[in-house]
Amino acid sequence: MSKVIIIGGGIIGLSSAYYLHKAGHQVTILDKGKLNENCSLGNAGMIVPSHFVPLAAPGMIKQGIRWMFDSKSPFYVRPSLSPELFSWGIKFIKKANARHVNEAAVPLRDISLLSKKLYSEIADETGINFGLTGNGILAFYKTEQAAEEEAHLAEKGRELGLDMAVLNADECKALQPHLNLDVLGAVHYRCDSHIFPDALISGLNKYLKANGVEIFQDHEVTRIDRSGHKVVKVFTGKQEWTADQFVIAGGSWSPAVAKMTGINISLIPGKGYSFMVSEPENRMTIPALLTEARVAITPMNGQIRYGGTMEIGKTNNKINMNRVKGIVESVPKYFPDLHPSVPVEKDIWFGFRPASPDGLPYIGRTGKYDNLIIATGHGMMGLSLGPATGRLVSEIVSEKSTAISTSAFSPDRF
């Protein structure tokens, strides 16, 4: 049994704690915040084996440049002289090609399917009701171009063994009879699920504490001491903490934490927004992706959560209302009867996706230390991949063979 300190209590830190504790380790989580303000709460709640294509894909650069000139667009890179952003951008450009998409597909599929299976197990084992629903996701489109791209994706998905079906407008209507639809069709990602992330995160926090995991909020790690190939101590202000093994699961702040050990992680925050609207009629039963608008809509807890945008830049607390309006205005174009109002600032949630340049997470040890594990960089898929990452972290700490290969996720790959 090892004593393990996890830095960061988002879905990745909590999932790691869950599996480490289950494997018999003594676990402490240190988090700089209140554990209710990280990226793992207000996200769209989608569990997405369908997302086997990373953000770094062909066409993304051309599309990204077009979007840069539209203040309501779903994607934006905040121009900056930051060397980190520059270096991330170069890596992203190098990976935005068909070869990378092909190489990433199997590792992404495998970790996603493992995670989906583990979500069911966690629901059974813990009794936490986090609204796990397995009726898929409908990726709606309005244009022939998107129809063609989605059909191609569905074909690739089926080759990978994923259940995905191309539907025409009538077939979409049959699946969502209470919604007025103005779409050409959709791909039904039947392999996907959705959950209510807020219930998962609060439930996991309670479950872990009740089962002996120590969780400390308002404990920002500000210094890490090491000796040779080992991390020895971490400091939260004046308090020092020792352990046998350490896990960095700091989301978008992981590069700053890793830097305290002399390790560079290429990762940039991708800011996104969401807001909730009451939906007592329950007209939407299957979550929706608006393909051209890049908006995610998820029914959860008697409400609908609307989410989207990816602003690549630094972490900051400013809300860009134009981008929120972009989300709001896209909805009636697909669902003429859904007219969410522009929310007031206090009702808008934002979070920072920890985005790696190649769209794959970092999971594993680095060559530099024998007792440090990196678990971050999950970008748009951190909620989906949480349980699988947690299990892999636990297997690495326990020096067991891992459930799936982790070589594509090596933190040393750049």
Ligand X SMILES: Cc1cc2nc3c(=O)[nH]c(=O)nc-3n(C[C@H](O)[C@H](O)[C@H](O)COP(=O)(O)OP(=O)(O)OC[C@H]3O[C@@H](n4cnc5c(N)ncnc54)[C@H](O)[C@@H]3O)c2cc1C
Which residues of the shown chain bind ligand X in the complex (CB under 6 A)?
7-13, 30-33, 38-40, 43-46, 48, 220-221, 249-253, 257, 272-274, 296, 307, 351, 353-354, 376, 378-384
Q: Which is nearer to ligand X, 11 or 105 (CB)?
A: 11
Nearest approach, Cβ of residue 336 and ligand X (Å)? 24
Q: Count CB-CB contacts under 10 A for residue 159.
A: 9
Nearest approach, Cβ of residue 170 and ligand X (Å)? 28
Nearest approach, Cβ of residue 377 and ligand X (Å)? 8
Nearest approach, Cβ of residue 81 and ligand X (Å)? 24
Residue 273 near residue 307 (C-beta atoms within 8 A): yes
The alpha carbon of 25 is separated from its chain's Cα centroid by a whole number of angstroms, namely 26
Residue 355 near residue 312 (C-beta atoms within 8 A): yes
Q: Which is nearer to ligand X, 46 or 114 (CB)?
A: 46
Nearest approach, Cβ of residue 10 and ligand X (Å)? 2
Q: Which is nearer to ligand X, 64 or 377 (CB)?
A: 377
Nearest approach, Cβ of residue 46 and ligand X (Å)? 3
Closest CA to 96 of 155, 154, 56: 56
User: How far is it, in rounded angstroms, from Cα 125 to Cα 338?
Assistant: 37
Q: Count CB-CB contacts under 10 A for residue 7.
A: 29
Nearest approach, Cβ of residue 314 and ligand X (Å)? 14
Structure tokens that stand for 78 in this block: 């905040």
DSSP string for 206-260: HHHHHTT-EEESS----EEEEETTEEEEEEETTEEEE-SEEEE--GGGHHHHHHT
Residue 21 near residue 14 (C-beta atoms within 8 A): no
Nearest approach, Cβ of residue 271 and ligand X (Å)? 7
Query: Which residues neighbour 10 within 8 Å (Cβ) at sequence distance 6 or greater?
Result: 38, 39, 40, 201, 249, 251, 382
Nearest approach, Cβ of residue 404 and ligand X (Å)? 17
User: How far is it, in rounded angstroms, from Cα 294 to Cα 44?
Assistant: 12
The alpha carbon of 386 is separated from its chain's Cα centroid by a whole number of angstroms, namely 8
Q: Which is nearer to ligand X, 362 or 399 (CB)?
A: 362
Q: Which is nearer to ligand X, 50 or 366 (CB)?
A: 50
Q: Which is nearer to ligand X, 105 or 312 (CB)?
A: 312
Q: Which is nearer to ligand X, 98 or 344 (CB)?
A: 344
Q: Which is nearer to ligand X, 168 or 396 (CB)?
A: 396
Tracing tokens 């609207």 back to the chain, one arrives at 277
Q: Count CB-CB contacts under 10 A for residue 284.
A: 18
Residue 82 near residue 314 (C-beta atoms within 8 A): yes
Q: Which is nearer to ligand X, 145 or 239 (CB)?
A: 239
